[in-house]
Chains A and B, each alone.
Chain A
């Protein structure tokens, strides 16, 4: 199987070149990169004039609800949603039912993932047994089986000794620990950002310190053990400062931020009439916090953008705000939301910086064997994402591949969309009537 992509603007994972480039994918591997490549023998040829061809986007953090909560999402619907959203690789979170805390479930997810025709799915395993926060899960066996991260996401690892042991124990496994930063004693019953939103709504406030204090704790443990730690869905100005200080002092800490924390603000909870669609953990934050996250992208404090796609059934979301589930579904519009917001914040950072946070950034946080996913180079896997930076489209959640039927972006017109996703050398998604297939 040979696919030739002609005339694309090449983003190789680090830099965006101005000229037109051809990329040839052969049997799942990128075999040639150049100009005017010979199309001899190509099964399919696409003309990518004015479009960006990038390494396939990697989502470090999404919830595919499989096994056990398939009414919300499953591996197939999630994998197709991911491809439709421009992601060629999804890291699925282990807070399922039962939790993914053993090698058998890691193997189940990898095997089932192989059968899915959308994004490549690679699993994260739990840090603690039963995700209960008491004892180490069998991280060694899970690493051998193919787990790419260890996390109790959905919950922090509140027991500081356990987190320290996990860092020590995982040091030889080559699989990173990912912490959901939240001090639960500060967020009990909390629903919205502690600030304007909590003040006006009367809903209990979720203070920024609940996140920043956990980042400082984790950074301190990382310094102590010499083992890297990753913080996911970092959402506030204070947390960005915590990351900056920790990085500057030599801790091997990294973080990701989400599209909703980069594009939406706490006031939307109020202006939206307390619609549960705006409810998420951590909550939507202040304008200053959102600005600080973009500043973190600009100055390199942010290492990746991850969706935290958290699909729920409408019966769990369409409730009064306080009873609605925490979580925003976004796989199929996250990239567009980011590109749209980036344009709105003109010149804040370069496009290649932004694209690297979907590609080489997250790839560098995965185990060694997956890192070539983050680059376009001869010999690297043919996982590709094609972006049309000028295309406008309205988000219509009713047409999603995902089982989720609500998203804060529903009905919004966004500019800048992924129009094709290639996984293992096969076209996993192509926007209807958009790309011209030459052959």
Chain B
């Protein structure tokens, strides 16, 4: 009984595997939206700074067709992006790969923003301290003025 249960489970798993493969092969052809979703993550290898999904050249049409073919073959988005990177280099990826030298692209901007925030915070703190320690300009002016008025009145008295 136990043995037959094992055999049945095995047959079920194998049939699932085949069904998956058959589904991948016989599924409906990829739509333009599906192709463009992948193409949007790639740049034209020939024209500078043109996303592959909007590139109007014949070469780009060929590359989009290639994406369509690969999707129809059951290739995942990650596999297609890897294929394009292997063929044409990392420069065709809209999002740089998270490896090696490319980490700088991800780490540098937040690091610079953080450093800028620290500098700004410290500078603002220093300016606030200076303002708090400095004498009140209104008081200083009125004190000067009183002194001047007193001297003026004294001189007037002397002349009288």
Instruction: Verify that A and B bind, or say they do not.
Output: no
The chain A residues found within 8 Å of chain B, CB to CB, are: none
Give B residues with C-beta under 8 Å from A.
Answer: none
